[in-house]
Amino acid sequence: MTPEHALPTPLPVVHRTCLDLSGPRMAFLAATVRSPGQIGAVAPSSPQLAGLLASVVPAHGTPVVVELGPGTGSVSAAIDARLPEGARHLAVELDPRLAAFLRRTRPGVEVIDGDARELTGLLAERAAAEVDAVVGGLPWSLFGQQAQGEILAQVGAAIGRTGVFTTFAYTHTRVIPAARRFRELLAESFEEVQTSRTVWRNLPPAYAYVCRRPRSAPQGPV
């Protein structure tokens, strides 16, 4: 048989398990389709970005750590890898299906169905009024100025003078007005705001903000 008469190479059979329809990428895609205005990313955070965000989490003692917008749990896994035994990891997720996915895949996380703008009340209900770290995965550039300010005020009240807040932004959003306003709000809300190196191994490339000492937090005894 000559090459031009050879039978075509059969296409590979794609099994359902290969597509991982119940995995984090499909859960992320489904959330994006359901609520495109609430999902600011095109893919879950990479292990490199997740590790950078989780680096502020205390690795000793019995810390209380809160995640905002954990999504499919890529950063949750990095946080859990650092947390010592006896620590608490709470995650506030607005999308009920993502919250359900996180409960199923990260059973050690205390998942809270709720809005980050009500953070202090949600934590008080769970006897976690003061926390050691808040890790944000929210799409800040999609929020208006009022929503950004409300959430940052809640974060400041939660971490007090001794905790730390970290979140991330994409490099390509630097010129978006909402993103610029968010940077200004961080400076207005916290005495210390550090910007990390760019994580190029993320889609899209991103960087982190690390914030301490909220300006509105009580000073405590002198």
Least confident of 2-11, 143-152, 161-170: 2-11
Whether the predicted pLDDT of 41 surpasses 70: no
Residue 201: count of CB within 10 angstroms of its CB: 11
Q: Is 190 within 8 Å of 165 (Cβ atoms)?
A: yes
Task: For residue 214, give the 3-state DSSP assignment.
Answer: strand
**At 28, is the pLDDT very low, low, confident or very high (cuts 50, 70, 90)?**
very low
Whether the predicted pLDDT of 135 surpasses 80: yes
3-state secondary structure 5-58: HCCCCCCCCCCHHHHCCCCHHHHHHHHHHHCCCCCCCCCCCCHHHHHHHHCCCC
Q: What is the reported pLDDT for 222?
A: 38
Mean per-residue pLDDT over the chain, rounded: 84
Helix (H) or strand (E) holding 90: strand 88-93
Average pLDDT over residues 39-45: 62
Q: Is 164 within 8 Å of 210 (Cβ atoms)?
A: yes
d(CA 11, CA 14): 9
Residue 38: count of CB within 10 angstroms of its CB: 16
Instruction: Please write the tens of the pLDDT for every residue from 137-160.
Output: 998 888 888 999 999 999 999 999
Q: What is the reported pLDDT for 178?
A: 81
Q: What is the reported pLDDT for 16?
A: 37
b/e map 180-192, b = 16+ CB within 10 Å: ebbeebbeebbee
Q: Which class in CATH covers the domain with range 16-214?
A: alpha beta
Least confident of 6-10, 114-118, 139-143, 161-165: 6-10
Non-local CB neighbours of 136 within 8 Å, separated by 6+ positions: 67, 68, 69, 155, 165, 166, 167, 168
At what angle are helices 177-189 and 145-159 packed, to 10 degrees? 30
Q: What is the reported pLDDT for 179?
A: 84
Q: What is the reported pLDDT for 27?
A: 43
Q: Which letter does DSSP use for residue 101 in this model? A: H
In one letter, which amino acid is 179? A
Q: Do strands 164-170 and 206-214 pair parallel, antiparallel, or not at all (unpaired)?
A: antiparallel
- Neighbouring-strand partners of residue 162: none
Q: What is the reported pLDDT for 25?
A: 46
Cα atoms found within 13 Å of the Cα of residue 222, Cβ hemisphere only = 0
Q: Where are the domains of the chain?
A: 16-214
Q: Is the pTM of this model over 0.75?
A: yes
